[in-house]
Amino acid sequence: MTEPKSCREAMTDTLLELAQKNKDIVAVTSDARGSCSLEKYSKALPGQFIECGIAEQDEIGIAAGLAAVGKHPYVFAPACFLSARSLEQIKIDVAYSHQNVKIFGVSGGISYGALGASHHSTHDIAVMRAFPDLAVILPCDAVQTEAMLRAVEERKGAVYIRAGRAKVPAVYDTANGVSCSPFVFGKANIIREGTDLTIIACGELVYAAMKAADKLKEKNIHTRVLDMHTLKPLDTGAVIQAARETGAIITVEEHSINGGLGAAVSQVVCETCPVPVHTMALPDEYIVAGDSADVFRHYGLDAGGIAAAAEKIISRKRA
Tens digit of each residue's pLDDT (9 = 90 or more) over 170-198: 999 988 888 778 999 999 999 999 999 99
Burial of 299 (0-12, 13-18, 19+ CB in 10 A): middle
CB atoms closer than 10 angstroms to residue 23: 12
Q: What are the backbone angles phi and psi of residue 83, rounded to the nearest 5°?
A: -90, 5
Point out which residues pair with 92 in neighbouring strands.
none
Q: Distance (Å, rounded) from C-alpha 114 to C-alpha 120?
A: 9
Q: Distance (Å, rounded) from C-alpha 172 to C-alpha 56?
A: 33
Point out which residues pair with 199 in neighbouring strands.
225, 250
- pLDDT for the residue 319: 57
CB atoms closer than 10 angstroms to residue 36: 27
Low-confidence residues of the chain: pLDDT under 50: none
- Identify which of 221, 102, 95 has the alpha carbon closest to the alpha carbon of residue 159: 102
- What stretch of H or E contains 309? helix 303-318
Count of helices and strands (H, E) across the chain: 12, 12
152 residue type, one letter: V
CB atoms closer than 10 angstroms to residue 150: 14
Point out which residues pair with 225 in neighbouring strands.
192, 199
- pLDDT for the residue 134: 98
Upstream peptide bond of 276 is cis (omega within 30 degrees of 0) = no
Q: What are the backbone angles phi and psi of residue 26, rounded to the nearest 5°?
A: -135, 130
- Sign of the C-alpha dihedral computed for residues 74, 77, 80 and 84 taken in this order: negative
